[in-house]
Every structure is written in structure tokens, then in C-alpha cells.
Chain A
Amino acid sequence: MLTTTTQTITALLAFILPLAATITLTPLLIKTLTKRRILVQDYHKPNRPLIPKPGGPAIILSLIIGELTIYLMTENPVTLALILVTAIAGAIGVIDDIHPLSGVLKPTLLITASLPILLLGTYNFHPEFPLFGGVRLSIIYPLLVLIAIPVTANTVNTIDVLNGAVSGFIAIASVPLIFALVLKSGITSALPVLPILSVSLGFYIFHRSPSKIFPGDSGSLSLGALYGALAIVGGVEVVGIVALLPAILNSFFFLSSVRRFIEHRKVKERPVKVLGENRLAASRSGSAPITLVRLILADGPLTEKKIVLNIFKITVFSAGLAIITAVMTWVI
């Protein structure tokens, strides 16, 4: 049990250090990537500017710095599992950024990112549900953990479609996790969520429209894998699922329309088209994949900034439902 002073110092360090690391490392990465011409086109801008990618290494390193700080202050083995999950998912993401992996190989490899949680035994096979409480899933739960990390990592990856979308999305979705963990087991258990909140906020500064850097798969996969791991080790799985619903629905829409695991880069027909004045419109083709952005654009074209703002509004709504879920689980 930590004293209030230690708790406060740890919370401050767990928020400030990863934030400072992201704000310091990301511009360095932008410079390095630009110098080495490791750039990609921003497809959703009319003039298709070249943007440095991936910003993932800055995200991964900052997340690890945050979790390591908490480990050093609290000696909580849970944070070791979180560091390993982030590092493994991040490494797979870096490989994917350098040499794109197939739509099947990537989730298969991401199963290895789930292993630290199982091997270090940092999970509880009694997940808690709203209204009726905990259930015992001693056999099936470890199998679900194996699937959960690739699912959350890929789900978060699918929301990384527009400038600032994934970093802002994770920042908003982290809030109900903190709320649920404080409600369930006190402030100490919520500390490991602070680095993901601060890193995503820090990265958002550079990722928002017009983006100065893209996170790449290394960034979005590490954020998604860590998010899933936080929900599992904290025992707030249902709250995590509800907060991620916009991204889950986006994945469901996409997979159910293309009907196979496929890299979005390989989809022939694009769900949106670029108009003048930085506006995007939904494709009216029956064979184009269905995505959250395409649904948002169903009523007419919008600028990229406004689409991202709409994604954030939906995420805030889901975060609200996740907070209600937490209250229904641990208060009522």
C-alpha cells in the first residue's frame, strides 16, 4: 500500500515524464525521418503532402518510460507485463512499418504480445459485469487474453485513418479506464493508465491536422495493445470494450464489408474520396468498404478536421457509456 505522498509523486511522474519524453522525442524523430526521406503521402489532402512516418518509436519509448517509472516507484509486477506488451506490439509494428505484414500474419504475431500477461500471471479470471457482478472463467479467460491483445491492437489501428484521430481517440478512451480503476480498487491501480493518456495527448500535438508526423502501425499497435493490457490487468474489461466501441464498430463494418482479413492499403476501392478545399466525401459505391468515416460522411462532405471532431464526439459518448458501465458495476 502506497502512502498518499508516494501515490501523488508517482502519479505526477507517471504523467509528466512520458509527456515530456513524447514532446522531446517526436520532433527529433520528425527531423530524422525527414532527413532520411522516410516520408509517406497524406492521401486525404488535395496536394498530398509528404509526412514523416512512423512516429511509433517515440510513442513506444515514452510509454515504456512511463510504465518503468511506475514500476520503480511501486514495484508492481503488473507494470512489467505492460512494458513487455508495449515493447512486443511496438516491435511488431516497427517491422510492419518497414515491411508491411499481411492481414493474417500481423494479428497472428500480435498473439505473442499477450504472452507476458499470461506468463507473469497478471490477470484475474473473474471478470466483473454490470448488475450481476463477477463470473468465473478459469479455462476460457486465458484463451480470451491471447485473442484480446491482437484484437485491441488491430482495432485501434483501424481508427488511425485521419490526422490526429488515433492519438485523440486513445486519450479520450483512457479517461473511463482511470475512472473505473479508481472506483474498483483505488488510485494506485489507476496509475499505469496515466502514461497512455499523457503519451497520446503529447503525440496529438504533432499528429493533429495538419499532421507533422504519422504514428504508423508501430504507434497505433503499441497504443492499442497497451490499452487492451490495461483493461485486462486492471480487471475493467467491459469498461474498456465499451470505451473502444467506435473503433470496434469501425473494424466490424470494415471486416463485414470486405469479408476477409486484409490490409487497408490493399483495398482496391476507397471508402472516401478527396474533394477540393480539403473536404472528403463518402463513396456511394456499393462495393466500397464501410467504415466509420464513410458513415460520418453519409450526410455530405466535411473537412478532415470536422470528421475527426465528429469521431471525438462519438468517442466522448462511448466514454460516457463506459463510465456509466463502471458505476453500474462497482457502485450500484
Chain B
Amino acid sequence: MSSRLLPIIVLITTVWLLIFAGSYTIFQLIVTFPDFYPGLEGRIVTSIFKVGISGLLVLFWLYIMWTLRNFYVKRRLLIKPAEE
């Protein structure tokens, strides 16, 4: 694999690992939260909390991707002088 592709490979590997970490956090930690208090109301509140926190996690995941993208673009595309 050439050095040209190395940053993209690192990016893909990071996304792959984040898929594992994210799905584990959502399905093994957040989904298994017990209800905050008994009854239907408690179930609804807990479900809303679970959806909300999972959504935040997805946004955080996208933020990491966005940051990695910016880091890569600034270093490689905008700062690096054109060789052509």
C-alpha cells in the first residue's frame, strides 16, 4: 500500500473501529439501562433518554469523522504545495 493511500486507510480503519465501539456502546450499555422508575411513564422517559443519548453518540461519531477529515484536508490538500 503506497504512502499516498495510508491516511485514507487510517481513516477507514478508524471508522471501522468506531462502528464497533459505537454499536457496542448503544446496544450493550445504553439499551440495557433499567427504567428510571416503574410504570409506563418511567418506560417512556427512559426510552426517550436512550434514543436521545444514542443520537448524541451518532452526532459525536460524525463530529470525529469531520475533525479527522479537516485534519487530513488541511495537512495534505491546502498546506502541501502543488507538485503539478
Q: Which A residues lie at the B interface, using CB under 8 A?
A: 129-132, 135, 238, 241-242, 245-246, 248-249, 252-253, 256, 275, 279, 281-282, 284, 286, 290, 292, 294-296, 298-301, 310, 313-314, 317-318, 321, 325
Tell me, rounded to whole Å, the shortest Cβ–Cβ distance linking B10 to chain A: 11
* Residues of chain B within 8 A of A321, CB atoms compared: 12-13, 16
State the CA gap A317–B2 with chains docked (Å). 13
Q: Which of B5, B66, B84 contacts A281 (CB 8 A)?
A: B84
State the CA gap A298–B72 with chains docked (Å). 10
Are B83's CB and A301's CB within 8 A?
A: yes
Select from chain B the residue with minimum beta-carbon distance to A294. B77
* Residues of chain B within 8 A of A238, CB atoms compared: 19, 23
State the CA gap A109–B70 with chains docked (Å). 32
Are A132's CB and B82's CB within 8 A?
A: no
Tell me, rounded to whole Å, the shortest Cβ–Cβ distance linking A313 to chain B: 6
Main secondary structure of the interface of B (DSSP, over half): helix
Are B20's CB and A130's CB within 8 A?
A: yes
State the CA gap A279–B24 with chains docked (Å). 44
* Residues of chain B within 8 A of A135, CB atoms compared: 27, 31
* Residues of chain B within 8 A of A290, CB atoms compared: 69, 73, 77
Q: Which of B1, B9, B19 contacts A242 (CB 8 A)?
A: B19
Tell me, rounded to whole Å, the shortest Cβ–Cβ distance linking A235 to chain B: 15
State the CA gap A99–B65 with chains docked (Å). 34
B:15-66 near A, CB below 8 Å: 15-16, 19-20, 23-24, 27-28, 31, 62, 65-66
State the CA gap A248–B8 with chains docked (Å). 13
Tell me, rounded to whole Å, the shortest Cβ–Cβ distance linking B8 to chain A: 6
State the CA gap A252–B28 with chains docked (Å). 27
State the CA gap A294–B72 with chains docked (Å). 12
Q: Which of B15, B66, B78, B83 contacts A245 (CB 8 A)?
A: B15
Select from chain B the residue with minimum beta-carbon distance to A241. B19
Tell me, rounded to whole Å, the shortest Cβ–Cβ distance linking A307 to chain B: 10
**Besides the known contacts A296-B5, A314-B5, 16 further A-B residue pairs in the complex with CB atoms under 8 A apart:** A129-B23, A242-B19, A246-B12, A249-B8, A249-B15, A252-B62, A253-B69, A281-B82, A282-B82, A296-B4, A298-B76, A298-B77, A299-B83, A301-B83, A310-B2, A313-B1
